[in-house]
Amino acid sequence: MPYNKVVKAVAAFIFVLFIAAAGTALYARIGVLVPQTAAVVSVQPMVPAPAPPPEVHILAFGDLMLDRHVRQKIDTNGGDYLFENIKKLFAGQDIIVANAEGVFTDNDSTASYDNLVFTFSTTTLPLLKQLGFTFFSQANNHALNFGWKGLTESKNNIVAAGMDSFGDPDNVNPGPLVTQVNGIKVAFVGYDQFSAKNGDDTSALAAIATAKAQGAFVIVYPHWGIEYQSTTTEFQRTEAHRFVDAGADAILGGHPHVVEPIEIYNGKAIFYSMGNFIFDQPWDDTREGLGIGLSLTDTSVTYTLQPFEIQLMQPTPLQNAFRSIYLLGLSETASTTDQSLRPAIATGSFVLQR
C-alpha cells in the first residue's frame, strides 16, 4: 500500500477512535448531569366505590286517636304540639304509617270516655302530610263509628290530602296497598279480628298472596287481642303464624293499647302490639308505646325500636337508662329460637334476612 494511503488510513482510524472516545465521555458526563428517565409508573384508572344497595326507610306506629281530649289539646295548642317531641324521628323516612283509630270526617265530635265514637278533624290532614305521614290503617273497630259513609268519606279525605289508607273493619278490602320506593316494593295489608265475620282471615290471606306475587315486602297491620293485656292470646299467635306462612314479612299489631311481646317466627318479626301512639288514656301502660323503624334492602331488613312515653298527649322518646331498661324488658319477653337476637333487641336494633 502506498505510504500516503497508509497514513490516511491510520489517521482515519485514529479519528474514529477519538470520536468514539469523545462520545463515550460525553455520554458518561450526560449520564451524571442528566438523570436517567424515570421508570414509567402504571397508573390505574380511578374506580368509583360501589353504590350502596337501594334502601327504603319505614317508620310505623300503633294507635293514633285525634278526638276527645286530644282534639281539645289540638284546639288549644295546635296540631303540631302533639308531635313536637317525636318528629325528630321522622327525618329521612320514606314511609310513615299508623293505625287511625277513627275516621277523618266533617262530623261534629261527640266523643267522651262514655261515648267511644271518634271522628278526626279533616284540618289535621295537611299537618300529617307535612310531617311525612303516608299511610293509615283503617282496619279497626272505630273506623265504622259513622258507618260505611263515614269510612268512605275518611278514605277520600286521606287521598285528597296526598296520603292513602288500607283495610276496613269488616276485612272487605284489606289491600294490598302497594308502593315502590327506590325500586323496592312494599305492601300493606289491614286485618280486623273484630269484623262482622268473626275474624275471618280469608281476604287478608289472599291480599298477602297477591302482594307476594308482585315481589313486595309484605307488612300486615292487624287489629286484634285483648285491650290492656300485655300478653298475647292464642288467637293472635295462630293468626300471626298463618300470615307469615302465607308470605307476610312483618306484622305490626295494634288495639290492646299497651305494648305486647315480640316474636321471631320463621325468620320474620311479629310485633303483637305497638301500643298507643297518640291517645288520651291516662293509665301507666297505655302511656307507653313503641315505634318500629324498618330499613329494607333487597336482602335484609334492619329493625330499630323506638320506645316512648306519652306525656300530656305528646309521645316522647325514652332516653338513657329508661330506654335501656325498657329495651332489656322487650328482649327478655321476646319469643325466638335464635338466642343471639336477644342482646340485639336489648340494644334497640336487630337484622333479619329477607
Instruction: Identify the structural domains of the chain with CATH numbers, from first to last.
Output: 56-353 (3.60.21.10)
Q: Angle formed by the axes of helices 234-246 and 202-213, to 10°?
A: 30
DSSP E strand boundaries for 138-261 = 164-166, 177-181, 184-192, 217-223, 250-252
Residues in contact with 69: Cβ distance below 8 Å, sequence separation at least 6, in sequence order: 280, 313
- Per residue in 259-289, pLDDT (tens digit) is 999 999 999 999 999 999 999 998 889 999 9
Q: What are phi and psi of 133, to 5 degrees?
A: -65, 145
Query: What is the reported pTM?
Result: 0.86
Lowest mean pLDDT: which of 4-8, 74-78, 120-124, 349-353? 4-8
Q: What is the pLDDT of residues 283-341, one digit of tens each?
A: 889 999 999 999 999 999 999 999 999 999 999 999 999 999 999 999 999 999 999 99
* Contact by Cβ (8 Å): 311, 266: no
